[in-house]
Amino acid sequence: MNFDLASQPEIIQRGAAYAVQGWDIAKGWLMSPAAWSQFGLLLAAFLLAWLLTRRLRPAMERLLTPPAGRSSLLATLRRFLLVFVPLLLPLLAFAFTAIGEQATRAVFGTGAVIAFGKRLFLLLAARILVREIVTDGFLKLLGRVILLPVMALYALGLLDVATARLNEMTVSLGNIEFTVMAVIRGVIAGAILFWLGRWSNDQTGSYISKQDQMRPATRQLAAKAAEFTIFAVAFFLLLNIVGIPLTSLAVLSGAIGVGLGFGLQKIASNYISGVILLLEGQATVGDFVELDNGMAGTIVQTTARAMILETYDGRWIVVPNEDFITTRVINYSDQGSTNRYEVPFSVSYDTDINRVPPIIEAAVATHPDVLDDPFPPDCELRGFGDSGVEFAVEFWVAGIDDGRHKYSSDVGFLIWNALRDNGIEIPYPHRVVELRQPAET
């Protein structure tokens, strides 16, 4: 059949040419004894691979499944290999088809049909890989959007044609010119590199966090340095893959420098302040701090720009790192140091005040969290008030008197009970009112 497509768009003419070419190839295969032989070899290779898979797969699954609870290197390797067992059928079919292709080319001098079947088995392997083996959402998306279409083009023998066509198309960006193929290659490589960077960063961070012999601040600094190094290497590898020379980044570097000097100076200041904090270890995750402006909370997360404090009422406060450098910060934790608190009280003027200190000190010492080191509880006379004699008991604890810890409240109860048990009165204000009658006249 001949159709006049001269008046049609170029894309339709090109598609029709490919369709005619495909029809000619298919017709040649259907009428060729060599093609029928290759079809038979393909069917035989698939059946043999299917039979072997039925026998080998259960044995391989038993061999590669480690005992429950094992976490050794060998057990981890066996679990890793077990994941790829579903690829056994297409890979065996591919191997048998490759052997059949060599025999077909030796006998008939051609192997186009069996080569096409071999590529189809590779496409089947890629489909199983994406659907059944890959579990990461990002990699699964890459497989569906990129790997499967590429393998389909390869199976149809159109991959070289598509690659050549994409290499002819160019995209200009200022003085830099790219081919569409370079852009696609850069997107694919960038996605894979930065996924690998994220995975490597997670593994490195997990390893560093387990090094208990390192100070917390040192672990955080090492994790941040590893993160910066990993993504910097990924970025420069991507530039090399895309083909962008580093000299072309001079203008971009100058623009970034101007931005840092003006609009981004606060961000740069906070980033540098964060590095200083990690180096000096002044404040780290888990410390309870109070800033000069009255904000207080436990540091739950550190970022390149800020530290996040969690207050005891459940709120999160984002504090720029610069504030920890330029303002006064009280660190109540300081990597587990103890803190001193005091509870004031008063007794009646009728009391023998010499009895009060030993009674209160003994009562407060019974609290399980009150420490004897650096100092035991100390009851001091503070003054003589309007209603009673004023005392205060000082005590040391290894924690913060807030949140789930109620040290001052517990000590207050101990003081009340101790004074009551010893018959000591806690005074309250009294007022004497004098009524004068007017003089009689």
pLDDT score recorded for residue 439: 61
Under 8 Å between Cβ of 319 and 307: yes
Contacts from 314-319 at CB under 8 Å and sequence distance 24+?
A: 319/291, 319/295
Single residue among 261, 290, 317 that ends a domain in this structure: 261
360 shares its domain with 312: no
Residue 36 shares a structural domain with residue 94: yes
Residue 254 binned pLDDT confidence (cut-offs 50, 70, 90): low
CB 118 within 8 A of CB 101: yes
Domain membership flag for residue 162: no
Express each pLDDT in 102-139 by its tens digit: 777 766 666 677 778 888 888 888 888 888 888 877 77
Q: Which residue range forms the structural domain that includes residue 214? A: 178-261
Domain check: are 312 and 376 in the same one?
no
Categorize the per-residue pLDDT at 379 as very low, low, confident or very high, splitting at 50, 70 and 90.
very high
> Are 212 and 275 part of one and the same domain?
no
CB 332 within 8 A of CB 290: yes
Residues 50 and 150 grouped into a single domain:
yes
Residues 250 and 344 in one domain: no
Return the amino acid letter for 417.
Answer: N
Q: Looking at the domain assignment, is residue 75 inside a domain?
A: yes
Candidates 297, 425, 412, 437; CA nearest to 352 is 425
Is residue 413 predicted with pLDDT exceeding 90? yes
CA distance 32 to 36: 7
Classify the C-alpha dihedral 119-120-124-127 as positive or negative: positive
**3-state percent helix, strand, coil for the chain, nearest multiple of 5:** 60, 15, 25
Q: When comparing pLDDT for 414 and 428, which is higher? A: 414
Q: Is the pLDDT of residue 164 over 60?
A: yes
pTM (predicted TM-score): 0.49
Q: What pLDDT does 414 receive?
A: 92
Ranking 79-88, 106-115, 258-267 by mean pLDDT, the lowest is 258-267
Q: What is the CATH number of the domain that holds 364?
A: 3.30.70.100
What sections of 109-179 are H helices per DSSP?
A: 112-128, 137-142, 148-156, 159-168
Q: Which of 261, 290, 315 is the last residue of a domain?
A: 261
- pLDDT-derived band at 377 (thresholds 50, 70, 90) equals very high
Q: Can you tell me the mean pLDDT for 136-154?
A: 82
Cβ atoms of 292 and 329 within 8 Å: the answer is yes
Quote the number of domains for the chain. Answer: 4
Most confident region among 136-140, 257-261, 321-325, 352-356 by mean pLDDT = 352-356
Statement to judge: residues 37 and 100 lie in one domain: yes
For residue 114, with 0-12 CB atoms within 10 Å meaning exposed, 13-18 middle and 19 or more buried, which class applies?
Answer: buried
Instruction: Give residue 263's pLDDT.
Output: 57
